[in-house]
Chain A
Amino acid sequence: MVGANKFRLGVFVLLGVVLFLGTVFFLGLSDIFTKKARLVTLFQESVQGLAVGSQVKYKGVPIGSVDKIIIQTDDKLIRVDMQVDPSIFGAGREFSAEDIEETFYKFFKSEREIGLRCRLEYAGITGLKYVELDYFDDVSKNPVLPKPTIIGNRCFYIPSTPSAFKDILKLINHSLESISKIKYEEISNATAGALNEMKRLLQDPKLVQAIHTMERMSTNLEKSSAALNKVLTEDKIREIVARMEDVLKSLDNLARQVNKQVESARLDETATSFRSAAQAVGETRQMLTHTLTKMNQALDSITELANYLGEDPSSILRGKNAPQVKFPNN
């Protein structure tokens, strides 16, 4: 039998052992030799996505991991125990094992008083969560959960505050619930029916004819409007409006007088007054009718004038054309 290459075998085994120890050490065995501080918090909301080993961060800096998650049966709160490396904290120096109790916990105690809270945050798109220690704005709105009765030695309690996504999820759930109540099928059927009706209506010959008529009317209206624009200047319109105002004032005065008469009416005089008032009203109506007739005539004249001016604008200077005189041929 060929003997073993003992040197090669020795190198192989030694390297293997060194690699093994190195890998185990770097993968977490070194944590055994580090002094850990313990923090405890209570959550009222669901901690789905948080697991033993999840990160604990202070203002985004990883300071430890979740050590234990317990459901407290007496108050149905979720207790989360965290292991924190105190050597990360320090004013330019690392804590020694002796002053962990004093400096580290003293720091956390003072920070808790000024609003340091635990909150669940998403670690990414995977749904995993971590515990964030920070000073949140809405701390004062949420009541602080009471400290657990059994907290253990060297454990420090930090209250929690509800996470932002709790509200978002609630809102989303509410919205989804509302959306689910919408009867899409009915809406769809109704919309389809309405569209069919509209299609049928649009294809109706009467509507087509009505549209044509409206188009013609619109064209005529445009022409009239253009003619009026040419003739009815601003001054004339003011004048007409002023006259109408006068008429309306007269009507107003008349109405007041009628009111006075009615108010001061006596039984024996009422009939007479009423008759005279009715007569006055009748006269006024006649006058009004007359005025409106006159106005109508005036408008017709204006339209005629406008048309005439449109055909022969120079007539405004020269006056109306004299009838053409026919001369004898010789």
Chain B
Amino acid sequence: MKKKTMPTLRDFVEGIGKASTIIRCDCRDMIAFTGDLTLTLLFICRHPGKIRWRETLYYMDLCGSQALPIVLMICYLMGLILGFQAAVQMQKFGTEIFVADLVGFSILKELGPLMVAMIATGRAGSAFAAEIGTMKVNEEIDALSTMGLSPMRFLVVPKMLAMLVTMPVLTVFGDVAGLLGGMTVGVTMLDLPMVVYYNRTIEVLSPTVFNLGLVKSVVFAFLIAAIGCMRGFQSENDAQGVGRATTSAVVTSIFWVVVADAILTMLFSVLGF
């Protein structure tokens, strides 16, 4: 067995260099993938007939309708938790009715799209990475390239389109479930009449708030699909490589989703929404 030695300053500097190289390569690959994806999407826009609708519908079913129960449950519970926490604090000041404001704004602007994105990352992002990684291990991607078929168009575009369609729809479901969760707390714990809570929610929320959440969900969908597919393509040619690619897809997606959420929130704030 090799004897372990204390890391020297040289090893530390080497480590920083290696990490920098990895980050640089990662960024380069990400930019290259984004460019390739943009070109493919532009091509698809010019030639809609080239879209593989069958696969697209399959992924819509996989990422959308199959994810609906878990999205409804998670978002309902999120609204419930949020309402409960707000109720505990607001009861002290006799401002229970403002639970509707807090839950409404939080769910529609932030938590609805974010929670749906997290679920989609865990379900769809990892599935995309594993699927493409396995295809890479089996050299199916090389086979597609050899036959002159674009792997990007064949594999990524259906997934991307499916995500872009299903994520906003899932967010709508998630938003409504979250609002119902808050209403459950308002009606049962705070003894607010359902009509009063409903009227307050309608009063404070606007279509703009609702649509901002949907815009976020579209951005998140793009990120999750793109990162999932990219990590799949970057997978190493063994079973462990596929596992690492899947893990990396989930972690990277979550990171970029949160970063994008922060940027969008600031952007909307600057724009006055």
Q: CB distance A1 to B206 under 8 Å?
A: no
Q: CB distance B64 to A9 under 8 Å?
A: yes
Contact of B173 among A4, A16, A29 (CB under 8 A): A16
Q: CB distance A5 to B65 under 8 Å?
A: yes
Q: CB distance A19 to B207 under 8 Å?
A: no
Q: CB distance B207 to A27 under 8 Å?
A: yes
Q: CB distance A17 to B207 under 8 Å?
A: no
Contact of B57 among A9, A24, A125 (CB under 8 A): A9
B238 sits at the interface (CB 8 A):
no
A327 sits at the interface (CB 8 A):
no
Q: CB distance A8 to B61 under 8 Å?
A: yes
Contact of B55 among A1, A17, A20 (CB under 8 A): A1
Total of A-B residue pairs, C-beta within 8 Å: 73
What distance in Å separates the Cβ of B177 from its nearest Cβ neighbour in chain A? 10
Contact of A19 among B65, B66, B173 (CB under 8 A): B173
What distance in Å separates the Cβ of B32 from its nearest Cβ neighbour in chain A? 28
Q: Considering residues A1, A11, A20, A24, which has the most beta carbons from chain B within 10 angstroms of its beta carbon? A: A20
B81 sits at the interface (CB 8 A):
no
Residues of A within 8 A of B64 (CB): 9, 12-13
Residues of A within 8 A of B31 (CB): none
B141 sits at the interface (CB 8 A):
no
**Interface SS, A side:** helix
Residues of A within 8 A of B165 (CB): 13
A26 sits at the interface (CB 8 A):
yes
What distance in Å separates the Cβ of A24 from its nearest Cβ neighbour in chain B? 5
Q: CB distance B206 to A27 under 8 Å?
A: yes
Q: Which of B54-78 contact A (CB under 8 A)?
A: 54-55, 57-58, 60-62, 64-66, 68
Contact of A13 among B95, B169, B207, B210 (CB under 8 A): B169
Residues of A within 8 A of B93 (CB): 125
Q: CB distance B55 to A6 under 8 Å?
A: no
Give Cα A17–Cα B65 distance, bound, in whole angstroms: 13
Using CB atoms, name the residue of chain A closest to B175: A23
Q: CB distance A3 to B54 under 8 Å?
A: yes
Contact of B61 among A4, A15, A29 (CB under 8 A): A4
Q: CB distance A20 to B172 under 8 Å?
A: yes
Quick one: given A24-B210, A125-B93, are A1 and B61 in contact (CB under 8 Å)? no
B176 sits at the interface (CB 8 A):
yes
Q: CB distance B169 to A2 under 8 Å?
A: no
B205 sits at the interface (CB 8 A):
yes
A28 sits at the interface (CB 8 A):
yes
Q: Which of B154-194 contact A (CB under 8 A)?
A: 165-166, 168-170, 172-173, 175-176
Q: CB distance A19 to B206 under 8 Å?
A: no
What distance in Å separates the Cβ of A129 from its nearest Cβ neighbour in chain B? 15
Contact of A125 among B65, B95, B206, B211 (CB under 8 A): B95
Using CB atoms, name the residue of chain A closest to B214: A20
Give Cα A235–Cα B98 distance, bound, in whole angstroms: 83
Which B residues are closer than 8 A to A by beta carbons?
54-55, 57-58, 60-62, 64-66, 68, 93, 95, 98, 165-166, 168-170, 172-173, 175-176, 202, 205-207, 209-211, 214
Which A residues are closer than 8 A to B by beta carbons?
1-6, 8-9, 11-13, 15-17, 19-20, 23-24, 26-29, 53, 124-126
A-B residue pairs in contact (CB < 8 Å), sample of 18: A1-B55, A4-B54, A6-B61, A9-B57, A9-B60, A12-B68, A12-B169, A13-B165, A15-B173, A16-B170, A19-B172, A20-B214, A23-B175, A27-B206, A27-B210, A28-B207, A29-B207, A126-B98
